[in-house]
Structure 1
Amino acid sequence: MTHIGYTMMTEQSGPRELVGHVVRAEEAGFDFSVTSDHYFPWLRSQGHAPYAWSVLGAAAQATSRIPLMTYVTCPTFRYHPAVVAQKAATTQLLSEGRFRLGLGSGENLNEHVVGGGWPSVDVRHEMLEEAVEIIRALFEGEHVNHRGTHFDVESARLWDLPDRPPPIGVAVSGERSCALAGRLADLVIATEPEAGLLESFDRHGGAGKPRVGQLPVCYDPDRATAVERAHSQFRWFGNGWKVNSELPHPDSFASATQFVRPEDVAGSIPCGNDPADFVEAVRAYVEAGFTEIALVQIGGDTQPGYLDWSEKTLLPALRSTFG
């Protein structure tokens, strides 16, 4: 069975709106939800970037059924891993066991704000691995002392721990991150329907674990309007992770995508209101082996209409196709 999720995209809505949207997503019947965790939007046209963890706390209280998840948090620059462990444990308690901690090696766009430069990807993976080990140790409930290559932890302990620690997901984009995720994660996260990533994850110990993908979509009764909005706010999506993780500012993303055309965006993001187009886009993830797909509706002010349409049309179409 394929689970369909809703994305609280913090880059395109304010905090109160995000909570209202996930409440409606729960009512509409989405199977789970995920939340981005950014300091900047990718493009100025998106217009928002509230603190994701405050939004998660409010969402945990405003909802009762829908699972919550970071997609993803970087536990190595803006946040120390010991602090991420505390935030995750608290969110798991507030949500009564509905939270999963999605982690990744980060983007320069969000992490540069605390200074210290932006190291090479191999160093970022080293830091992520060490961070996951620290978080796991704190989830076990003991005092943790750690002297590592990248982090120190001085007699830390989590005083409020849930009975079941949040499952940890790791975002992957290549062989090294897949190896890390296979060894250390409870689930894998990816933003592209690449079967090779999941095969690598399986080779390194991930077989049988959940695999969560994410797909941008742009619903609108008028397809031309949807294409225009997708181009305005999501034309960066086609750059790929290796490019997106290095750019430091929304203006950098604008410059890097200045020659992307609306028709280019429409070729990779389903736009309009024909559910068949959305079903086919999801099919690529299902056939690649993903068990969960979180949809991202582009446009903060379009969420109410999208959620109504999803409840009446999209979710029934997806479930009749994929179970």
Structure 2
Amino acid sequence: MVRIGYTLLGEQASPKDLVANAVAAEQAGFDLAVASDHYFPWLDAQGHAPFVFSVLGAVAQATDTIDLMTYVTCPIKRYHPTVVAQMAATVDLLADGRFTLGLGSGENLNEHVTGGGWPPVNVRHEMLAEAIQIIQALFTGEYLSYRGDHYQVDSAKLWDVGTPPPKIGVAVSGPQSCELAGELADVMIGTEPKASLGEEFDLAGGAGKPRVGQVPVCYDPDRDTAVERAHELMRWFSLGWKVNSELPGTAAFAAASANTRPADVAESIACGPDVELFVEAVRPYVEAGYTEVALAQVGRGSQADFIRWAEAELLPELRKL
């Protein structure tokens, strides 16, 4: 049976609201909570971008059973891998082992803030591989000195890390990232219901490992209201990963999605109160082999209503998948 998750979209909610939403999601029966790790929202209208590891530390203390994951953290530029390892180990201890460190090669939107330019994708994958190896080594609790093509570590050690340490997930979008994930990750992370991603992950060593997907949705009792909200806040979603990873700021996302119509958004995001529409949005991920699917409800003030509706109507139907 597929496990169903809830997304803590930091781009559209304050830190305290995110914690409250996580508590409500656990009480409603969601199996996991995945949290975005951004320095910027995608669009100005979203209006938020708190520090995710502080939020997750608070969530870890406010919840008891729901699993937690970053979806995803980029450990190649804005954070040094040694710092990511320390942050992840601390959150995992606060969560009593419920935390998975989701990693990816990042987006210019968030990583440009430290300067130095945005590397091409092949270099980003090289940096990500080195970063994962550093984090895994530090998760042993032993001293680490390391000199690679992109990073240097001088006598680093984590003094607080769980046994076992946090699991590591890696985001995939094509053959190169699938190979990296299959070799180094405990979990595959994807945003597309493509069976080929799982197959490539398996061939690289990922066979039998969990795989987590994410589906944007927009519940509202009135479908037109839901479509309007999704268009306002999530119209950039249809641009695709290759575009989204390169755009440098909210103005660029607004310009790139300026011609996206509400009808276009409604074709790619389940909107309204129809349970079956939401089930059909999740189904392709299950059929593609995903073992966990996190729902990302669009809208700042709609989270409590969505969670109540999901508990009463949606989750029982999704469990049947």
TM-score for both structures, normalised by structure 1: 0.99
User: For residue 118 of structure 1, what is the aligned residue in structure 2?
Assistant: 118
Q: CA deviation at 1:254?
A: 0.4
Correspondence 1:112-261 to 2 at 5 A: 112-261=112-261
One-letter amino acid matched to 2:42: W
**DSSP 3-state at the match of 2:280:** helix
Gaps in structure 1 of 5+ consecutive residues: none
Q: How many residues align?
A: 321
Encode CA deviations 1:244-296: one digit per residue, 9 max, x unaligned. 00000011000000100000010011000010000001001111111100000
Correspondence 1:238-317 to 2 at 5 A: 238-317=238-317
One-letter amino acid matched to 1:216: P
- 1 CA distance for matches of 2:204 and 2:210? 14
**DSSP 3-state at the match of 1:76:** coil
- The percentage of counterpart residues that share the same residue type is 65
- 2 CA distance for matches of 1:199 and 1:46? 35
- Structure 1 consecutive aligned stretches of length 4 or more whose deviation exceeds 3 Å: none
Encode CA deviations 1:274-322: one digit per residue, 9 max, x unaligned. 1000000100111111110000000021001001101111101111x21
TM-score for both structures, normalised by structure 2: 0.99
- 2 CA distance for matches of 1:6 and 1:208? 23
One-letter amino acid matched to 1:5: G
- 2 CA distance for matches of 1:263 and 1:71? 27
User: For residue 15 of structure 2, what is the aligned residue in structure 1?
Assistant: 15
Q: CA deviation at 1:141?
A: 1.1
One-letter amino acid matched to 1:104: G
Q: CA deviation at 1:146?
A: 0.5
One-letter amino acid matched to 2:69: M
**DSSP 3-state at the match of 2:86:** helix
- 2 CA distance for matches of 1:260 and 1:284? 24
- 2 CA distance for matches of 1:86 and 1:96? 15
User: For residue 81 of structure 1, what is the aligned residue in structure 2?
Assistant: 81
One-letter amino acid matched to 1:304: A
**DSSP 3-state at the match of 1:234:** helix
User: For residue 47 of structure 1, what is the aligned residue in structure 2?
Assistant: 47
- 1:29 and 2:38 aligned: no
